Amino acid sequence: MSRRRALPFALFLLPWLALVGAAQTTSAPRPYDAAREKRLEWFRDAKYGMFIHWGLYAIPAGEWKGQRSLGLGEWIMNRLKVPVADYERLAAEFNPIKYDPDAWVQLAQDAGMKYIVITSKHHDGFAMFKSAVSRYNVVDATPYKRDVLKALADACAKRGMRLGFYYSQSQDWHEKDGAGNTWDFGPDQGPGPESKELKHYDAYLRGKAEPQVKELLTNYGPVALIWFDTPRMMTAERGQRFADIVRQTQPNTLIDGRLGTEGDYRSTGDNVIPPEASTEAWETPATINDTWGFRKDDTNWKSPGQIAFKLVDIVSKGGNYLLNVGPTADGVIPEASADVLRTVGRWLKVNGEAVYGAGVSPFGQEFGEYTGKDAKNVRGEKLFLANNEWRVTTKPGKLYITFFAEPRAPFEIPAMRNKLLRAYRLADKAPVALKTENGTTTFTLERPMLDPMATVVVVEFEGDKVQK
Ligand code: FHN
């Protein structure tokens, strides 16, 4: 990443780092690390993954004893301050008889997603896998009695899908020494700048979180990545203990950007897409509606067009899109969300060359621009006015220009010194005539666009890289 580009990207991550309140990684560009780059190879090519938030919270699905909770479905225990003794009774009801892991993996494949990351333990502390260190798990505490992660790992292995595990290392509302449960166990930290820790946090980390991460890395075959989250009170030393477990147990497993010490790639804030490109590996975790865990009242699904745009936007800036689905307590991914994913998947079947393994835009003016005024966005950053009409991704000797709206005038290819060789639509290979006048090359896209959701034009040029 050039210095000019690194700074705004780093600034953009800062509010997130402040929010999680962690001894997080610095946002300065990191020195080249050959081992990390090797681990990251598949991740950089994959671009698009399925996030799955599934746990006991799918049973209340946003409503506790007639009371609707606001916000994220998986936060219901915290939002309504449900005592552990009440919340843990949900385990006795968890019986996902419609759970079909093969169908989930098939859906991810039909959607064009290249990896799956599922919640193994969210903040509520319930393990969706068999654990020797806590009986609060899907095998020992539910009538279902089966290890749902094992079944998913088997389905992924059978179908060649990479699988990673989300693990909430800090927050564990079920444990008296875990972070986050203030309603049963009091505050985590004292007042004032000293913020003295009031719980035996290391006892929780060593007694549950660390051994459970080790279990995940031992009992489920190759683990693509561990997705840590909300690193409260995660000092660098504590974070390093988790990193050591990962590296010593499965050296190829990636660590996301929310451990509390340096991971393999950067994680943006939820649903946040940076305004600019970066060549460092990064990922945007995102919802398909407005919750992660299933809520029965949230059907605010993003459209296939919105998702296709976000995916190409992210890829053109060098990132990955980890898009979430929230299965019901029965084990079903809501059909409306599955339909949206499959529609994007059909587009990717024809246009995936512009996405998988593609590089960042060599231009950047298509992203939009910072407002000249002193306006700020909701995160307090300088306001960026995004343009959503087209994006560019690259492969050696090729530009992929994806149009999300019909260009109203002949489209001007941004200035580059390479000789342009030819252009064609990616979907049907129909030639697109290039016209050069006074050093500017334009083309006119046939209207209506071949695919109104997004039409890709490939422009081939001499040489591998764009010279400006
Ligand atoms: O608190 C969690 C939330 O429930 C969800 O898991 C997201 C996914 O990125 N992470 C945390 C908030 O950022």
C-beta of residue 455 within 8 angstroms of C-beta of residue 403: yes
Structure tokens at 165: 């595990």
Pocket of ligand 1 (CB under 6 A): 72, 74-75, 229-230, 270, 285, 292
Query: Which of 225, 229, 256 is the pocket-test mutation for ligand 1 (most atoms within 8 Å of CB)?
Result: 229
Tell me: the pLDDT tens digits for 343-393? 999 999 999 999 999 999 999 999 999 987 788 888 888 899 999 999 999
Tell me: the pLDDT tens digits for 414-465? 999 999 999 999 999 999 999 999 999 999 999 999 999 999 999 999 999 9
Tell me: the pLDDT tens digits for 90-141? 999 999 999 999 999 999 999 999 999 999 999 999 999 999 999 999 999 9
Question: For residue 3, what pLDDT is reported?
Answer: 39
Distance between CA atoms of residues 328 and 323, nearest Å: 17
Q: Which atom of ligand 1 is nearest to the CA of 269?
A: 13
Structure tokens at 32: 């080249």
Distance between CA atoms of residues 148 and 347, nearest Å: 31
Tell me: the pLDDT tens digits for 284-313? 999 999 999 999 999 999 999 999 999 999
Q: Is 467 exposed, middle or buried (0-12, 13-18, 19+ CB in 10 A)?
A: exposed
3-state helix, strand, coil split of the chain in percent (to 5) is 30, 20, 50
Mean pLDDT calculated for residue range 147-163 = 98
Query: Which of 78, 282, 292, 322 is the pocket-test mutation for ligand 1 (most atoms within 8 Å of CB)?
Result: 292
For residue 426, report the distance from its CA to the centre of ligand 1, in Å. 37
For residue 351, report the distance from its CA to the centre of ligand 1, in Å. 31
Taking CA atoms only, the protein residue closest to ligand 1 atom 1 is 230
Phi, psi of 457 (to 5 degrees): -110, 125
The SS3 call for residue 261 is coil
Distance between CA atoms of residues 117 and 335, nearest Å: 19
For residue 21, report the distance from its CA to the centre of ligand 1, in Å. 14
- Please name the residue ranges forming H helices in 252-334: 304-316
